[in-house]
Chain A
Amino acid sequence: MEEQLAELAAQVAAIESKGNLTNTMFAELYYYLTIPLMIIIHAGFLAYEMGASRAKNALSSGVKNILAFAFVIPAFYFFGWWVYWGFPTGFSFSEGPNGISGAEYANAIAWAWGPSAEFMGPNTEDQIDGVFWGAFALFAATTASIFSGAVIERIQTVGFVILAIILGGFSWTLGAAWGWHSDGWLVQSWGVHDFGAAGLVHAIAAFFALGVLINLGPRIGKFNPDGTANDIAGHNLPFTATGLMLIVVGFWGFLMGCLVVGGEAWSWSGNWNTIYGTPSNLSALSFNILMAVGGGIIGAWAFTRDPFWMMSGALAGLISTASGLDIYWPSLTFLIAISAGILLKPAATILENMGIDDAVGAVTVHGTMGVYGMLLLGIFASGYPALGEAAAFSGDEVPTISFIGQLVGIVVFVLIGFITGYVPSLILKMMGMLRVPEAVEIAGLDTVKVPAQAYPEGIAASPPASS
């Protein structure tokens, strides 16, 4: 009998070991797959920006966008990952209640030198850090792409890249450390909840862009002497609309990356969780993402009939509900998304009337809707626990979501974005590295600095074949 029990125990242990291995391998693959899906966001932004540019600037807009991706990724490797783990408790760099933050912890896992290097490269015992880092690096690159569209057709390439590095490597990462980390002071003290990063990715990137736009100024010809605005149409609206749809596709990967796989090394429990340790799952995301996209498109269609704004409405629907995609009721998601689609164009017009030339509506789509979404969650989810039991400050009451908490969170995110965009761009402006000279802007950036032509044969209409 004892022998049989021992044999049974050995078999159970073997099964458990294999189950853990399967779970680890699934988690690794899961995060890995979020990365190519998120790269689709960049394919979308690339098409979106090039299409929204006039033909004379199409390629230079593409070059700028590609370089943002290329430089932000290593910047996040060199220092962005450290910022995320080092800053959650604020500028004290002290360890948070869960013991996974602070300078000492970040030094131990997030520098690409010294003892922590073992977590920043190939390691047979570490199957999660690289893919987790990769997903975060793509969040960083997404912020740069959001900013990139707003400043097309007049910003200098290197000045732009420097700003993209600051945004992707530091600004949004600081917001994520404070509001998207179980030790983050905004979460622990104010119950901030931003599941899909409406505030800490979208609003931070958008208000960063606003800070830069103030120093950069509008494109030549955008505003008349009396202050009225002219429409500067991009050269390829079908390309732009397709790009926007690609961004929506990529957001499935982005939002996948916002869930923590149950039972793996970083998880809080055996079930799916948010980054706050609160429950959610892929089923919740499927319900709400699809309803948000549909609602946003319908809202924008109702008031514009314009495919550009309709597809921007899809993004507005997603962003306005992103903070609560884990817990919203799908019909409520749909209603919020419709309202976001309706508000989108008037909000863009208000910004334009303030003399801001946001070429693709990035500040409105990502900023206004990010703020709107954060605040709405404070109303609808008031009283919901902001942290899971396992992630909460042990022994203390679990912080709850509230309107005031969400308001504090979004004010902090807006300030992070705006200040870190405005100040460096002002310095670049004083150094003559922000805006291209007037003659270059008039001639077209492709003509001056891109050794290739977007349309060497023009865009000639071809006659149909004879039947």
Chain B
Amino acid sequence: MGFPYDQGTWEGVSGAIFMGFGSAMPGIFTVIAIAVSVALLAIGQKTEAAKYRDHK
């Protein structure tokens, strides 16, 4: 993603310092994080339901 400021130094840097600042990357990672959370819940429900079915 690269350093978000023009000069490759921390000298004079003031403001956001996270990776991807100023680009679309933070938003893309956020969307991926939401999708992963939802997917893990779906997988969790599937495996738990299987355990309930196995226990009759």
Contacts and interface: CB of A to CB of B under 8 A. Distances in A.
Contact of B27 (A117, A125, A433, A436): A117
Contacts of A121: 16, 18, 21, 26
A74 B14 contact: no
Nearest to A447: B55
Contacts of A117: 16, 18, 21, 26-27
A364 to B, nearest CB: 30
Contacts of B44: 157-158, 161
Given A122-B18, A123-B15, A437-B52, A161 B27 contact: no
A25 interface: no
Contact of A118 (B21, B30, B52, B55): B21
B33 A118 contact: no
A439 interface: yes
Contacts of B14: 124-125
Interface in A118-132: 118, 120-125
Contact of A157 (B13, B48, B55, B56): B48
Contacts of A448: 51-52, 55
A439 B26 CA distance: 46
Contacts of A112: 26-27, 30
A439 B55 CA distance: 7
B39 interface: no
Interface in A74-121: 74, 78, 112-114, 117-118, 120-121
B27 to A, nearest CB: 3
A113 B56 CA distance: 47
A158 B50 CA distance: 13
B55 A440 contact: yes
A interface, size bucket = 20 to 34
Contacts of A114: 27
B52 A440 contact: yes
B43 to A, nearest CB: 9
B37 A71 contact: yes
A112 to B, nearest CB: 4
A161 B41 CA distance: 8
A113 B48 contact: no
Nearest to A442: B55
A284 interface: no
B16 A439 contact: no
A436 B52 contact: yes
A1 B40 CA distance: 72
B34 to A, nearest CB: 6
Contacts of B56: 439
Contacts of B52: 436-437, 440, 448-449
Nearest to B17: A122
A449 B34 CA distance: 26
B48 A74 contact: no
B45 A433 contact: yes
A439 to B, nearest CB: 6
Contacts of B30: 78, 112-113
A74 B27 contact: no
A234 B30 CA distance: 41
Interface string A28-66: 000000000000000000000000000000000000000
A448 B27 CA distance: 39
A162 interface: yes
Contacts of A156: 45, 48
Contacts of A124: 13-15, 17
A158 B26 contact: no
B41 A118 contact: no
Contacts of B13: 124
Nearest to B23: A117
A282 interface: no
Interface string B1-31: 0000000000001111110010000110011
Given A118-B21, A159-B45, A162-B41, 18 more contacts: A74-B33, A78-B30, A78-B33, A117-B21, A120-B26, A121-B18, A121-B21, A122-B16, A123-B18, A125-B15, A156-B48, A157-B44, A158-B41, A158-B44, A158-B48, A437-B55, A443-B55, A448-B55
20 contacts: A71-B37, A112-B30, A117-B16, A117-B27, A118-B16, A120-B26, A122-B16, A123-B17, A124-B13, A125-B15, A156-B45, A157-B44, A159-B45, A161-B41, A162-B41, A443-B55, A448-B52, A448-B55, A449-B48, A449-B51
Interface of B: 13-18, 21, 26-27, 30-31, 33-34, 37, 41, 44-45, 48, 51-52, 55-56
9 nearest A-B residue pairs (beta carbon): A113-B27, A121-B18, A158-B45, A118-B16, A117-B26, A112-B30, A122-B18, A123-B16, A449-B51
